[in-house]
Structure 1
């Protein structure tokens, strides 16, 4: 008995046929035989298939040109909420609120190519950081699909959105490349793109290596040794010199915002460190040879553990404030804590928890001398501290002097006790793998 023509079948029957044909095409194991790691799964969607899926489905989709019933069934299937994606990438994830950023980000492929598979952070459902697969490359959804970082906002009026875009506009628009900065991969390279289906603004960034916070957690006693801290200092003096040269004040120094280079990246500098997260960044106004801080109080931004004393009081931040934060970072990496990370304070001679009384961190910062902040550390850190505290607002630091002091100190370790971590070009991935 001859099969019934398509136009004689019910629409539901045709949609069921379309569904099974789609799945049989997409689950084909041998469509990409040159890739031995192929899992046979597609992360893209019927309405936004990746390049390989599109090639597989071409014969199926061509029937839309000759049969209206088939054309309607394909359209219905592609727009069906029930079949948003071909394969799941997360287990047990449920976001019931449609307004929440987590829900929006998983509604469809972002910019027709990025599939979210993990939430890194999401504040109040209005802004967040996510891990996603990039299905828009030549390999499509193959096992080699490259993970990327996506920062997202529900509105373009978000102050972190504005700060981030302004910072990248200055960093990307510079005539000379700024090393150690994760450059956006959006179409415009320096601004976020708006996705109409998900109703979000997204900024796509390359995935970097682990952060200094991650590395510290793997080290004995969660502490960096002296040569490692010196290497961090040398690298970050260079990073912040370049950032400041473009009129950007980071305002975001902390171990979680300093990353190792991406795994497998061929680089002449295995000690390269990357600075990330410009959501709190500010632009240093070029008002002449003697810039002045704003006459109005500035909102305090950044991690309170690492921001400068001036930042605590709402005074405009400049180069000196980033460098003061670096000093706190160096102390933290060496000691695994800061003086203001102490146990709960005492009230009337009795211990109290932080819910009862919280000391003002800025008071402890002011009262902590360099001898305590850099206890058991090399003298070059105390000298660095003196230089930083002597800077005026907007004054350009002598970065070379600061860096050379750390280099000279590190060379002494190389001469006396050479180890894998005392090389001036210390390989962070080697340290990571051997922890």
Structure 2
């Protein structure tokens, strides 16, 4: 396994039980038939599946849940399902069609999605055009605002966890995988207290310095991570990309040190000024401050207006007649 910092999750919730990969291929689950494996994570596997009666395509997440094993914590998939229930009905949030347990396996059936934004960046030769990034930014800020309105912070904002929908929702970006998410409100509705003695959490490429310093993460940190994601999608680079060290822990420490010294103007040097304004605003917020989502959307909408671009959902990966030269879209992704 490579030590690529974009795919290393530094720490999961200590109360969640890690997954062990034990799952037979080709299986019927509550009226669904599995087809092919489409993802593997620390807590389980994700398979594409089809509903046996309607023919509808879905994604199924599996997690072994043996109660006989000693554990002081909770299983990951029931925890994530609880987060999805809190986010039910939001635009850009995958729907959960079924959740349960069969044969000592936790199972969650969700909407199947298209390629992730990281895959799409790769297909488009390493970077997306400014117009595409701006249209995505508008949607992503709104989705994160909705998630925050339900009392949840994501804590793992990265393009690998963002994907376009399929067919009728092919113009909508989705945020998925909430295994790292948590409530930022107490049982009485107050904001959780600030802490500075935690271990870093999230994908090192996109988390901010607060996480490396062991701070409790809040709404501002989700949005700052989104800022790094947008710079990455537009430029295909961040200053700490390619940092090399002898081990993953050493690499994580090196990235943290680089983020502590890197100036925001240098990070945004190849982007319109609004990207810097966005990140400066996020970094300047207090831990419990409510972000001004309208203002942040307005920054990117201002660029669209200045360039006389329309929000027409014509992204870089749209049909060949509309796509920028150089887009390489695999045949397996059918949007229309």
TM-score by length of 2: 0.79
Question: Are positions 1:378 and 2:272 aligned together?
Answer: yes
CA contact under 8 A between 1:294 and 1:315: conserved in structure 2? yes
| CA shift digits 1:290-323 (9 cap, x unpaired) | 7353547444332111112222233221101101
Partner of 1:209: 114
Shift of 1:329: 0.3
Offset, 1:354: 5.7
Find the aligned partners of 1:148 and 1:261 in 2 and give their Cα distance: 12
The match for 1:106 among 25, 33, 40 is: 25
Aligned to 1:151: 61
Aligned residue in 2 for 1:426: 313
Could you tell me how far apart the structure 2 residues matched to 1:214 and 1:200 are? 29
- Give yes or no for contact 2:116–2:159 (8 Å, CA) kept in 1: yes
The answer for the alignment partner of 2:160 in structure 1 is 256
Looking at secondary structure, tell me which structure has more strand per residue.
Answer: 2
CA distance in 2, matches of 1:386, 1:296: 21
Q: Secondary structure at the match of 2:58?
A: strand
Aligned to 1:128: 45
| 1:285-304 aligned within 5 A | 285-286=185-186, 291-295=191-195, 297-304=197-204
Matched, 1:240 2:126: no
Indicate the residue corresponding to 2:220 in structure 1.
320
Which contiguous aligned blocks of 4+ residues in structure 1 show a shift greater than 4 angstroms? 100-103, 156-159, 286-290, 353-357
Gaps of 5+ in 1: 1-99, 139-144, 187-191, 346-352, 415-421
Task: Give the alignment's Cα RMSD to 1 decimal.
Answer: 2.7
- Structure 2, unaligned stretches of length 5 or more? 1-18, 68-72, 328-336
Instruction: String of CA shifts for 1:321-341, please: whole Å, max 9, x gaps.
Output: 101110110111122121111
Q: How far 1:161 sits from its partner (Å)?
A: 2.4
Residues 1:193 and 2:110 aligned together: no
Using CA pairs below 8 Å that are at least 6 residues apart, which structure has the higher relative contact order? 2
Does the 8 Å contact 1:227/1:410 carry over to 2? yes
- The size of the alignment, in residue pairs, is 297
Higher Rg of the two aligned structures: 1
Deviation at 1:413, TM superposition (A): 1.6
CA distance in 1, matches of 2:216, 2:201: 11
More helix as a share of residues: 1
Distance 1:228 1:376, change over 3 A: same
**Secondary structure of the equivalent of 1:259?**
strand
Is the alpha carbon distance of 1:234 and 1:323 closer, same or farther for their aligned partners in structure 2, counting shifts above 3 Å? same
